[in-house]
Amino acid sequence: MWLYLVTLVGLYYLLRWYRERQVVSNLQDKHVFITGCDSGFGNLLSRQLDRRGMRVLAACLTEKGAEELRNKTSDRLKTVILDVTKTESVVEATQWVKERVGNRGLWGLVNNAGISIPSGLNEFLKKEHFAKILDVNLLGMIDVTLSMLPLVRKAKGRVVNVSSILGRLCMFGGGYCISKYGVEAFSDSLRRELSYFGAKVAIIEPGFFQTAISSSDRHLSCNKMLWDQASSEVKEIYDEKFLLSYETTIKLLDKLCNKDLSMVTDCMEHALTSRHPRTRYSAGWDAKLFYIPVSYLPTFLADRILFWTSTKPEKAL
């Protein structure tokens, strides 16, 4: 009995391995539009796909970031300035893409642009703090996707949305985790809609990696600013041990951050080039071996593992 079961599982993974190794033909003729290419995952993916011979259309927030990327890549790669929070900028970028892809359509759209601060204890934040992150990570992504969708559908291409393991497991307050939960939901609904037209949607769920948005210095500075701006009533309720607990967690996560960004960009590349891409890619051993398993645990147990339930001040109870 067990032998049959092991054989079936082995055959399943062998078949999956074979399917996932099949590559899309004529990659050198396919255009891929990537947002957030100034640094981090977007920057590395642009260079990675350019080396593979694909036609990369890289969207950067700043001209400096665009120039630095062009200096590191071939003449095939083209750049455009894009602020995903401004609809007029998205419309201009879409027109720019149309002029380059022509009747072939857009093979790949990679929604990578994102920010992570301000984040912290929810009661230290205001509505505008949440809105700032949601405008980039979720609403900006939706705006870009809806604008580019006719081009992707025409090519029967791919939409690759960069979520996070924090789209499965919320670990701190603010708009970041909320935005990533939203990315997951939008991607799921979009995948079902586009399947009718032969287009595919993949979600990338990285663990903790060392990028500009994960910088511990920026998070600690933001946390200190939020503490200084908090009302005396809020400070009295929470007192400084909550601040110290948050800072300790940020420093710990910074030490655990993976520096090998290719673990994420390899997943993105596979989602764009494989004939049979996965629906979800979990990048990083921390995501695979810790955060995803924890996300399936009963809530009370996950809370015990992740949070400091014993540090609540008596006056807050």
Query: Mind listing the pLDDT tens digit for each residue in 49-87?
Result: 999 999 999 999 999 999 999 999 999 999 999 999 999
Distance of CA 300 to the CA centre of its chain: 27
- Helices and strands of the chain, counted as H and E runs: 13, 7
The per-residue pLDDT for range 205-256, each reduced to its tens digit, is: 999 888 877 666 676 777 777 777 777 777 777 766 666 766 777 777 777 7
Q: Is residue 199 part of a domain?
A: yes
pLDDT at 215: 64
Q: Worst-scoring range by mean pLDDT, 96-110, 118-132, 204-218, 300-314? A: 300-314
Q: Is residue 310 very low, low, confident or very high in pLDDT (cuts 50, 70, 90)?
A: very low
**To which residue do tokens 């011979």 refer?**
53
Q: Which residue has the higher pLDDT, 209 or 134?
A: 134
Q: Which of 13-27, 127-141, 163-177, 238-252 has the highest mean pLDDT?
A: 127-141
Averaged pLDDT for residues 103-112: 96
Q: Is residue 296 part of a domain?
A: yes
Q: Is residue 175 part of a domain?
A: yes
**To which residue do tokens 């903790």 refer?**
208
Distance of CA 237 to the CA centre of its chain: 34
Catalytically annotated residue among 4, 176, 196, 281:
176
Q: Is residue 20 over pLDDT 80?
A: no
pLDDT at 223: 72
Q: Is residue 41 part of a domain?
A: yes
Q: Which residue has the higher pLDDT, 231 or 266?
A: 266
Helices (H), 23-83: 40-51, 63-71
Averaged pLDDT for residues 4-17: 76
The per-residue pLDDT for range 148-203, each reduced to its tens digit, is: 999 999 999 999 999 999 999 988 888 999 999 999 999 999 999 999 999 999 99
Instruction: State the chain's mean pLDDT as an integer.
Output: 88
Count structural domains, the chain: 1
Averaged pLDDT for residues 100-115: 95
Pick from 142, 279, 158, 283: which is nearest to 211 by CA?
283
Q: What is the CATH number of the domain that holds 199?
A: 3.40.50.720
Distance from C-alpha of 183 to C-alpha of 179, rounded to nearest angstrom:
6
Is 238 designated active site? no
Q: Which domain holds residue 69?
A: 23-212+258-301
pTM of the predicted model, to two decimals?
A: 0.89
pLDDT at 317: 39
pLDDT at 129: 92
Q: Is residue 279 part of a domain?
A: yes
Q: Is residue 104 part of a domain?
A: yes
Q: Is residue 170 part of a domain?
A: yes
Q: Worst-scoring range by mean pLDDT, 189-193, 281-285, 309-313? A: 309-313
Element (H, E) at 190: helix 175-194
Q: Is residue 93 part of a domain?
A: yes
